[in-house]
Structure 1
Amino acid sequence: MEIEAIQQHDKHYTDDSFWNKLQKFSKKAGSTIVYAVLILYYTMQKPEVPFKVKATIAGALGYFILPLDLIPDVAMGIGFVDDLSIITVALFQAAMYVDQDVKKQAKDKLTDWFGEGVDTSEIDNKLNIEK
């Protein structure tokens, strides 16, 4: 998916709708998607991230928030596949702005929801972030 297509979903993003969706669907979405989404969220909060990258992140998070997207999130087993593909594109766009602080914030929130010992290596490896 093209960056511009992702960015068009930024109108669906608000902090409230983001946290509501994430809390409601975190267990169903799974820790990998939640970790990736949290990394995007905390990266977007950084003042040094350029507007274009923030727009891509907001678009990806807006798509994640949408109740009706390409594959509805309530579809058992596959409902978050399209969300993950869009989130992955946004992660690659934002990767150079993901630092240890962002990763720690995301892992701390992940631990709150999923407990200790959640494996984040899939996303960490995609971002080439040192464990």
Structure 2
Amino acid sequence: MDDIKIGEILLPGEESEQERRERRVRRRFWPTLRRAARQIPFSRDLVAAYYCAVDPKTPTRTRGILLAALAYFVLPLDFLPDMLAVVGFSDDVAVLTAAFAAISGQIKEGHYQKADEAMRDRPDE
């Protein structure tokens, strides 16, 4: 994936686009995470990003970037299909890494606490 493509994916979008992405992310996040958990080396950060993205106190731009990255993560068809084992999530990792860099420091300790609780309560369901 090149930087231009990732930059396009991470555009925060208008409010209506963010709402659409949030619905998709809320619906597909946990099933996708279960499939990806072994291939994504930063699952805790990913879950904390989810909680940051759905937190109404998170700044709009940060929410938009995270929702864009998480929407890409949950898409069933993306640049490299996720069905391709380890390679399938490599583009998702690239997009998520770029999103984390773009929102540096916006994921708060409370989001990590919620992530820890959720991961304890949802062990590989």
TM-score for the superposition, normalised by structure 2: 0.72
Alpha-carbon distance change, 107 to 95 in structure 1, aligned in 2, over 3 angstroms:
farther
* Corresponding residue to 1:65 among 68, 74, 94: 74
Give 2:31's aligned residue: 20
Task: Answer yes or no: is the 8 Å Cα contact 2:52–2:58 preserved in 1.
Answer: yes
- Residue 56 (structure 1) shift: 0.8
- Residues in 1 aligned to 2:96 and 2:51: alpha-carbon distance in whole angstroms: 14
Provide the secondary structure at the position in 2 that maps to 1:57.
helix
- Residue 14 (structure 1) shift: 3.5
Task: Answer yes or no: is the 8 Å Cα contact 2:9–2:69 preserved in 1.
Answer: no
TM-score for the superposition, normalised by structure 1: 0.69
Task: Answer yes or no: is the 8 Å Cα contact 2:50–2:66 preserved in 1.
Answer: yes
Which sections of structure 2, spanning at least 5 residues, go unmatched? none
Which sections of structure 1, spanning at least 5 residues, go unmatched? 115-131
Task: Answer yes or no: is the 8 Å Cα contact 1:36–1:87 preserved in 2.
Answer: no
Cα deviation digits, residues 68-99 of structure 1 (max 9, x gap): 11111111221111101111111122332222
* Corresponding residue to 1:86 among 80, 88, 95: 95
Cα deviation digits, residues 43-82 of structure 1 (max 9, x gap): 1133332212111111101100111111111112211111
State how many pairs are aligned: 112
Task: Answer yes or no: is the 8 Å Cα contact 1:71–1:80 preserved in 2.
Answer: yes
- Residues in 1 aligned to 2:36 and 2:85: alpha-carbon distance in whole angstroms: 14
Provide the secondary structure at the position in 1 that maps to 2:30.
helix
- Residues in 1 aligned to 2:44 and 2:27: alpha-carbon distance in whole angstroms: 18
Which runs of at least 4 in structure 1 moved beyond 4 Å after TM superposition?
Answer: 8-12
- Residues in 2 aligned to 1:36 and 1:80: alpha-carbon distance in whole angstroms: 15
- RMSD across aligned positions (CA): 2.5
* Corresponding residue to 1:100 among 82, 85, 109: 109
